[in-house]
Amino acid sequence: MDFTFTEEQQAAVEAARAVFCGVAPDTVPSPALTPGAVADDFDRALWAKAAASDLLSLGIDAAYGGAGLDPIALCLLLRESAKVLARLPLLETSAVAMAVQRYGHAQLKRELLPAIGRGELAVTVAANGRTGHDSAELAVTAHPDGDHWILDGTQTGVPWAQTCDRIAVPAHTAEGHTVIALVPRDHQGITLADQTSTNGERFAELHLEALRLDASAVVEADGAWEWLRDLLTTGTCAQALGLGEAVLAMTSQYTGKREQFGHPVATFQAVAVQAADRYIDLRAMEATLWQAAWRISSGAQSALPAAGDVAVAKIWASEGVRRIVQTAQHLHGGFGADTDYALHRYHAWAKQLELALGPAAAHEEALGDLIAAHPLSQTT
pLDDT at residue 1 greater than cutoff 80: no
Percent of the chain with pLDDT over 90: 87
Percent of the chain with pLDDT over 70: 98
pLDDT at residue 233 greater than cutoff 80: yes
Write the CB contacts of 319 (distance below 8 Å, at least 6 apart in sequence). 281, 354, 360
Q: How far is the C-alpha of 272 from the C-alpha of 374, rounded, in Å?
A: 42
pLDDT in tens, 363-379: 999 999 999 999 865 54
pLDDT at residue 152 greater than cutoff 50: yes
Q: What is the average pLDDT value for the chain, to the nearest integer?
A: 95
Phi/psi at 185 (nearest 5 deg)? Answer: -55, -40
CA distances from 346 to 57, 210, 239, 246, 321 (A): 27, 40, 11, 9, 10
pLDDT at residue 380 greater than cutoff 50: no
Write the CB contacts of 194 (distance below 8 Å, at least 6 apart in sequence). 36, 37, 162, 202, 203, 204
Greatest distance between any 2 Cα atoms in the chain: 78
pLDDT at residue 169 greater than cutoff 90: yes
Q: Determine the average pLDDT of the residues in 33-61.
A: 96
pLDDT for 119:
98
pLDDT in tens, 172-195: 999 999 999 999 999 999 999 999
Write the CB contacts of 229 (distance below 8 Å, at least 6 apart in sequence). 127, 136, 170, 357
8 Å CB contact between 208 and 140: yes
Phi/psi at 127 (nearest 5 deg)? Answer: -120, 5
pLDDT for 192:
98
Write the CB contacts of 125 (distance below 8 Å, at least 6 apart in sequence). 92, 95, 96, 158, 167, 168, 228, 232
pLDDT at residue 133 greater than cutoff 90: no
Low-confidence winner among 153-162, 247-256, 318-327 (lowest mean pLDDT)? 247-256
